Structure 1
């Protein structure tokens, strides 16, 4: 499950490659995300902690396909979280002088039965799965605003449906889902209002984080995605094409 909390642009109008920072991207899902973004023209910043060898190998592979298009940064997202987040974002942005996309993929996952869960278990899961994405988003926000970029958080159905003994993990993912919803409102663009706007339109846009009225093409794009091979593992769930309006009370 992925949640997106602000708008990703299309291709850069001035010919530069867009830049994505993907946390925990040396292996598994993160590696697949980095590879897919790279295939679609992004320059990619591969973040790792202990998987330095795998990250370097992936970086070499991607740079072999397109020169100077991948870079590795490292850091432990469970230690000095806010400071580490600031450093990682600064290093990622400095590599090509821009940042268009932050993908919060890094995550811990282990069982925590109530009878023997520890405070250390709680801290490890919450720091990596919630605190790190929060402070990475905070650090990245000014750079993403400059490029009209976006944040994608990798969430989980276990954040919506109870699944003990993955209890603390589920709590952490539920918190990340809520952080995504709040950041979508906080980081959304200013509404595009005509002068003078009709009262109903003004009220509608004020409650729509993306700040614009949706189009038929927005719905059509979602249909094309669902009809494509890219959605082959999506079933029984919906895509809410509403500019974020459903997030507000």
Structure 2
């Protein structure tokens, strides 16, 4: 098995990546085909689908042993379940799947699929792509014991310093395209509460740092409010 493409996403660190696809729909990513797979014949007709399945490798887990039992974050990190009853990355073959919305198709100079809502780390290898077919892939009567509903979402607030940084960054025409919908992306990513579940009760005053694009977001949570205190750029873009 070999990668057919690599995804470019704003997520340069595992911490803060949404735990499921579609939770941050404003996040735009690009799937770039590589090697022998960079041929237009292989994507002929793909524009007729609104959504796609991305089959990918948890490549940062290659050196990790798989686990028979894992602790899902939705269960507070306290209860164990069998790995095949979860979407944990600690799997025998390191494979994952995410459904994304197809936004655009670029064919020159390289085949690229522009997608939204991806929950993948930057440069994750894509090993297959399949169309999402609503009449078989969407099952209204399906049930899920512990992840049946969306998780509780926090209110995301920005300090005056953080707001000023966003305004300055997005007002620069050369940079604004790279940071598309930056404020909304930050809100959608952080409102999912990236903290380990046990931190919420045992370390309520702790400050955190999230990486997004080449930005460093500093924040803390009080009650149901997540406040971004400062945003810093790690490098010139």
With the length of structure 2 as denominator, give the TM-score of the two structures: 0.29
With the length of structure 1 as denominator, give the TM-score of the two structures: 0.28
* Higher RCO (Cα < 8 Å, 6 or more apart): 2
Larger helix proportion of the pair: 1
